[in-house]
Chains A and B, each alone.
Chain A
Amino acid sequence: MNTLLTIKNLHIHFETHVGKVQAVRGVDLSVKKGETLAIVGESGSGKSVTAKSIIGLLPKRNAMIDKGEIWFENKNLLTLNNKQMKKIRGAKIAMIFQDPMTALNPTMKVGKQVMESAIKHLNLSKKEARNKAVELLNLVGISNPETRLNQYPHEFSGGMRQRIVIAMALSCNPKLLIADEPTTALDVTIQAQILDLLKHIQKETGTAIIFITHDLGVVSNIADSVAVMYAGKIIEKGTVEEVLLKPNHPYSWGLLKSMPNLDTKGKLYSIPGSPPDMIQPLKGDAFAPRNEFALAIDYDMQPPMFKVSETHYAATWLLHPQAPKVDFIRETQDVLMKQDDKISSIDNNVLLEVKGLSKYFYLKSKQTLKAVDNIHLEIRRGETLGLVGESGCGKSTVGRTIIGLHEPTSGEIIYDNTKLTRHNQRQLTKKMQMIFQDPYSSLDPKMKVEDIIAEGLDIHHVVKDKKERKQRVEELLKTVGLQPHSASRYPHEFSGGQRQRIGIARALAIEPEFIVADEPISALDVSIQAQVINLLLKLQKENNLTLLFIAHDLSMVKYISDRIGVMYLGTIVELANSDELYKNPLHPYTQALLSAIPNANPIVEKSRERIILKGTLPSPVYPPSGCRFRTRCLLATDACEKTPEWREVETDHWVACHYA
């Protein structure tokens, strides 16, 4: 196989008003014809910037390419002018963006959008372009392409739009497809469809793909080779088996370790700290301050790329012949095993009971959106109940209704034998708290961290004077692992993980018994997720908290929860102990969800059979009658037109399906 694209020693920086940000600091890469290269890294690691520089889409105003070469078909792309670049962009190299909701022009028919670049680059006539568009929509799995061509983007769901974006990218038979987190904005079952589609397309057309992602499970599913980026540098590259099974850099290894799989028990490994601030000049190995095996030299000198095998390279001094040999797996297995002592303090007292809860939203168009429809739940004192489901299934609405942010349309919420009403809500807010999803929007940007954390103390007049308030805030900051003297700073000065911990400290301030964690980790980077999960578990143990953990990441939910409820379109379809649910899923939707989780082990991932659900989530405004899952279910029959009963099939294993 010969090389299609080569990047040599690429350096890019951004000019900002506070200084220079070194976004890419010397990237060397090559992509072979027809292969899939995954670039993995956390936010800010420079992976998107690298990809955008290939196609010439960096913001001209403040992005500077300091040095480097990008060779594609014997041309250095960085020396081409705008006109020459236009001939390559879209025609030979195409790009798929992260958010399918904004990547399409809402005022233009999708057919025209797909045909546009074919007409421009391939000089096709309108009729030829139309035929081509039909062919492309067929290829990306959109049924009825002739009629669908005349529809506008808003008539398609998120997953369908991403297919159209892919069709647009493919319209000129590009040699290289750059996919920038194409599945991050999608649900797992849709993600599985899109990944399958990309693999299918590659087989059909032989195009090479650069796949940018932060999800190692996705990498192991789709990639042939992998490059791991950290702080603007590639720290390890090789074939997918080499990097994911035998990682050599402590960072790639830490990343892999901090993702729980379905069997993870005990304490989760986590990489402490946050990625470096790229405005500061970096000395030595950027990862050294977070690396438990950092050598003295790491703080002084940048490690060169060491060769592990013909295809496998890693930039760490640990590979130097003089360096001590470290057996990553054993060293930390010991640490983690020692701490494997999650004593469950669950008694069978029910702390919170939800009976027949419904929450409808009345839309302006006189329609009713049934976000939550007649659900029953029990949460026992001291346990963690996980609630999973795709976006729009109503899981967040359940959490918010329980905490009192929404008023239930019908049904009861009983907390500690007291029925929740409008009158006693204020007293109960002291016992129930919430952790929010987005660490960037959940903290008031105009308030100091001190005031954010102390807000609950102020509202409920818990502290007597300023001195006590300050002391309490500093204690809380220490509890969540932040420095007490950062209390006088503003939220924007913290990294995402640190902000999420401030949010946790705020919830803890009034010493609640029960916490609703609404997707607390889904906006965080992989290495930070484990920190937050470990913190939650530690706090739970210390303060005997009861948790309702809402998420869409099934492996994380499995790891943290004692029992799990699976939601689909406003109803709970299955509820069981987490081990039981994963070993013996009864509802076909649970089975499909479980099978859609990508596994970070490429050998397992590439060989396993998966259930791929057809279609997308129906609108909760017009949910299907009877069993709501029947439109996508593989087992559905006429019997499913009747609403299935919510029944206990085995002890503590509830399911709503006629065939379970």
Chain B
Amino acid sequence: MQNMKKKEVEIPAKMFKIVGRKEETLEEIKRSHLTGWQDGWLRLKQNKAAMISLFVLLMIVILSIIGPHVNTYTYQQTNYDAVYLEPNSDHWLGTDKFGRDQWTRLWEGTRISLYIAVLAALLDILIGITYGAISAFKGGKVDHMMQRIIEILVGIPNLIIIILLIMMMKPGITTIIIAMVITGWVNMARLVRGQIFKLKNAEYILAARALGADGRRIIIGHMLPNTLGIIIINMMFTIPSAIFTEAFLSFIGLGLQEPLASLGVLINDGFQAMRNHFYLLAFPSIVIVSLMVCFNLLADGLRDAFDPKMRN
């Protein structure tokens, strides 16, 4: 209170004039202009694990593109004078049983694995969104029918479908993608359906309907942009599992065939020569593990940053 009194004396009288409101600043928004994406990026940047993962993933992607071209070998070029070489200055990661350069094969294989995974995930999304959106938007009997179809699809074991498919078609990149998409889109369809059901009663959808908007405008203009975040997050979780599925199929011999390389093919090769030539197994394994871990960590980070439910 003592302090207070001292201060009071110092205040000049003109400070006590009524100046009123600051009308011009009343409705001003002082926060800096942030879009939803920018806001999410700010949150993501604070997540160290996600940022490191992002960096590692970028490195792997870049290496998988330029890696096969930095030395003179190609992935299918054999050299029977140089089989099972340990890593050295000429063959950085050594050579395999046919003397093929392991560095070139590793990055070629990573690229193909990523290509398959990303393409499969994209197709999943495309089919899943369409199916889920229609199912939820139509509702009623249509929804009922469409959901029963999904349940039947889920009921058939994956592996049976894949084996049947490979019996009919040549094993290769296309076959493996088709095999993965046939059952893979179901999860995305269910997710999108759930989201759209929730959005159907959101007040901004009602407002759009009250303005006379038609179904197309509501789905494309309002519902999809608002589920996009969750779709992308889910895709980031789908990619690593697709990578793993591809590797698994190739490993058990249902996937890609030599001389094509993929992470699964390489691990299968390495596994057979594991006792004497461990490096053949080690490098592809490191790549697949870092891919899986990094994709999952990044997806986790994205979910924390973009999913409103995870915020406090």
Decide: A317 and B207 in contact? CB cutoff 8 A: no
**What 0/1 readout, one digit per residue, does chain A (535-555) give for beta carbons within 8 Å of chain B?**
000000000000000000000
CB distance from B147 to the nearest CB of A (A): 14
B18 neighbours in A (Cβ, 8 Å):
293-295, 324, 326
B25 at interface, CB cutoff 8 A: yes
Tell me the bound Cα distance from A294 to B17 in angstroms.
8
What residues of chain B lie closer than 8 Å to A274, measured between beta carbons? 26-27
Report which of B27, B39, B208 forms a contact with A455, defined as CB distance below 8 A.
B208
Q: Judging by beta carbons under 8 Å apart, are B211 and A294 in contact?
A: no
Task: Tell me the smallest distance from the CB of A35 to a CB of chain B, in Å.
Answer: 25
B33 at the interface (CB under 8 A from A): yes
Most chain A CB atoms below 10 A, which of B16, B46, B206, B208: B16
With a cutoff of 8 Å between Cβ atoms, the chain B residues found around residue A615 in the complex are none
Q: Contact at A59–B213, with CB atoms within 8 Å?
A: no
Q: Are B212 and A456 in contact (CB under 8 A)?
A: yes
488-510 of chain A: CB within 8 A of chain B: 488-490, 492-494, 498, 503, 506, 510
Q: Which B-chain residue is minimally distant from A425 (CB atoms)?
A: B212
Q: Pick the contact of B29 from A447, A455, A489 — CB < 8 Å?
A: A489
Which of A272, A279, A296, A433 has its CB near the most chain B CB atoms (within 10 A)? Answer: A296
Q: Taking the nearest CB of chain B, how far is it from the CB of A594, in angstroms?
A: 30
Could you tell me which residues of chain A, from 379 to 404, have a CB within 8 Å of some CB in chain B? 400, 403-404
Please tell me if the beta carbons of B211 and A438 are within 8 angstroms of each other in the complex: no
Q: How far in angstroms is the closest Cβ of chain A from B217?
A: 7
**Residues of chain A within 8 A of B28, CB atoms compared:** 483
Contact at A436–B206, with CB atoms within 8 Å? yes
Residues of A within 8 A of B225 (CB): 444, 446-447
Asked whether any CB of chain A lies closer than 8 Å to the CB of B309, the reply is: no
Cβ–Cβ contact A294 & B29, under 8 A: no
For residue A290, CB closer than 8 A to chain B, the reply is yes
B142 at the interface (CB under 8 A from A): no
Q: Mark B1-44, 1 if CB is under 8 A from A, else 0.
A: 00010001001011111111111011111110111100100110
A43: Cβ under 8 A from any B Cβ = no
Pick from A429, A442, A493: contact of B204, CB below 8 A: A442
Whether A296 touches B211, Cβ cut-off 8 Å, given contacts A280-B30, A481-B27, is: no
Q: Is the pair A459, B211 in contact by a Cβ cutoff of 8 Å?
A: yes
Least distance between B18 CB and chain A CB atoms (Å): 6
The residue on A at minimum CB distance from B40 is A17
B29 engages A459 (CB within 8 Å)? no
A652 an interface residue at 8 Å Cβ cutoff? no
Chain B CB within 8 A of A297 CB: yes
Question: Chain A residues near B208 (CB, 8 Å)?
Answer: 444, 455
**A493 contacts B29, C-beta separation under 8 Å:** yes
| Residue B69 at the chain A interface, CB threshold 8 Å | no
Q: Which chain A residues lie closer than 8 Å to B13 at the CB level?
A: 322
- Interface size of B in residues (CB-CB distance below 8 Å): 46
Which residue on chain B has the smallest CB distance to residue A516?
Answer: B210
Please tell me if B72 contacts chain A, counting CB pairs below 8 Å: no
Q: Is the CB of B226 within 8 A of A445?
A: yes
CB distance from B48 to the nearest CB of A (A): 14
Bound: A317/B18 CA distance, A: 11
Tell me the nearest residue of chain A to B35, going by C-beta.
A490
B170 contacts A by Cβ under 8 Å: no
Q: Are B36 and A445 in contact (CB under 8 A)?
A: yes
By DSSP majority rule, is chain A's interface helix, strand, loop, or mixed? loop
A289: nearest chain-B partner, CB-CB: B22
B312 at the interface (CB under 8 A from A): yes
A-B contact count (CB 8 A): 147
Say yes or no: A304 contacts B16, CB within 8 Å.
no
The one of B11, B21, B213 that contacts A322, using a Cβ cutoff of 8 Å: B11
| Cβ–Cβ contact A404 & B210, under 8 A | yes
Chain B, residue nearest A457 (CB):
B211
Assembled-state Cα–Cα distance A442/B207 (Å): 7
B residues near A317, Cβ cutoff 8 Å: 16
Chain A: which residue is nearest B209 at the CB level? A405
* Docked-complex contact B21 and A272, CB < 8 angstroms: yes
Q: Is there contact, CB below 8 Å, between B17 and A433?
A: no
Q: How far is the CA of A322 from the CA of B17 in the complex (A)?
A: 10
> Which single member of A291, A404, A426, A438 contacts B21 (CB below 8 Å)?
A291
- A286 to B35 CA separation, bound complex (whole angstroms): 27
Residues on the A chain within 8 Å of B20, using CB: 291-294
B90 an interface residue at 8 Å Cβ cutoff? no
Within the complex, the shortest CB–CB distance from B28 to chain A, in Å, comes to 7
Residues facing B in A291-333 (CB within 8 A) are: 291-300, 304, 317, 320, 322-324, 326
In the complex, the answer to whether A455 meets B213 with C-beta atoms within 8 Å is yes
- Which chain B residue has the least Cβ–Cβ distance from A486? B29
What residue of chain A has the Cβ atom nearest to residue B44's Cβ?
A17
Q: Is A434 an interface residue (CB 8 A)?
A: yes
Shortest distance between the CB of B63 and any CB in chain A (Å): 32
Partner of A290, one of B26, B36, B203, B204: B26
- A363 at the A/B interface (Cβ < 8 Å)? no
CB distance from A111 to the nearest CB of B (A): 33
* B202 contacts A by Cβ under 8 Å: yes
Are A277 and B210 within 8 A (Cβ)? no
Query: Which residues from A are CB-within-8-Å of B14?
Result: 296
Residues in chain A near residue B202, CB distance under 8 A: 441
Known contacts A279-B31, A294-B20, A446-B226; decide if A289 and B211 are in contact (CB<8 Å): no
A483 partner, pick from B22, B27, B217, beta carbons under 8 A = B27
Q: A290-B26, A445-B226 are in contact. Are A426 and B212 (CB under 8 A)?
A: yes
Minimum distance in angstroms from B15 CB to a CB of chain A:
4
**Given A445-B36, A482-B27: A437 and B19 interface contact (C-beta under 8 Å):** no
Which residue on B lies nearest to A280, using beta carbons? B30
Asked whether A441 and B15 contact (CB < 8 A) given A18-B42, A429-B211, A489-B33, the answer is no
Interface status of B138 (Cβ within 8 A of chain A) = no
Interface string of A418-445 (1 = CB under 8 A from B): 0000000010011011101110011111
Taking CB atoms, residues of chain B closer than 8 Å to A483 are: 27-28
Q: Are A493 and B34 in contact (CB under 8 A)?
A: yes
**By CB atoms of chain A within 10 A, which of B13, B28, B33, B204 has the most?**
B204
B211-253 near A? 1/0 per residue, CB < 8 Å: 1110001000010011010000000000000000000000000
Tell me the minimal C-beta distance from B216 to chain A in angstroms. 11
Tell me the smallest distance from the CB of A404 to a CB of chain B, in Å: 7
Residues of A within 8 A of B21 (CB): 272-273, 289-292, 294
Please state if A17 and B43 are interface contacts (CB–CB under 8 Å). Answer: yes
User: Could you tell me the distance between the alpha carbons of A289 and B15 in the complex, rounded to whole angstroms?
Assistant: 16
Supposing A289-B26, A296-B16 touch, asked if A433 and B42 sit within 8 A by C-beta, the answer is: no
Please, which residues of chain A bring their CB within 8 A of the CB of B29?
Answer: 486, 489, 493-494
Residue in B29, B207, B208 with the greatest tally of chain A CB atoms within 10 Å: B207
Q: How far is the CA of A365 from the CA of B29 in the complex (A)?
A: 48
Minimum distance in angstroms from A522 CB to a CB of chain B: 13
Q: Separation in Å of the A20 CB from the closest CB of chain B? A: 14
Distance of A356 from chain B, by nearest CB (Å): 23
- On whether the beta carbons of B22 and A304 are closer than 8 Å, the reply is no
Partner of B226, one of A297, A444, A460: A444
In the complex, are the beta carbons of B16 and A434 less than 8 A apart?
no
Q: Which B residues touch A322, using CB under 8 A?
A: 11, 13, 16
Residues of A within 8 A of B204 (CB): 441-444
Q: List 20 A-B contacts (CB under 8 A).
A: A274-B27, A289-B21, A290-B26, A294-B18, A296-B17, A300-B15, A317-B16, A320-B16, A429-B210, A436-B203, A437-B203, A441-B204, A442-B203, A442-B207, A444-B204, A444-B226, A445-B226, A455-B211, A459-B217, A510-B211
Other than A455-B213, A490-B35, A498-B27, give 9 A-B pairs with Cβ distance below 8 A: A274-B27, A277-B30, A429-B211, A430-B212, A436-B203, A445-B226, A447-B222, A490-B36, A494-B29
> When A and B form their complex, which 10 residue pairs have the shortest distance between CB atoms, in order from nearest?
A273-B26, A442-B203, A297-B15, A429-B212, A446-B225, A456-B211, A436-B203, A444-B204, A289-B22, A434-B210
Binding site for B on A (CB under 8 A): 17-18, 59, 61-62, 272-274, 277, 279-280, 288-300, 304, 317, 320, 322-324, 326, 400, 403-405, 426, 429-430, 432-434, 436-438, 441-447, 455-456, 459-460, 481-483, 486, 488-490, 492-494, 498, 503, 506, 510
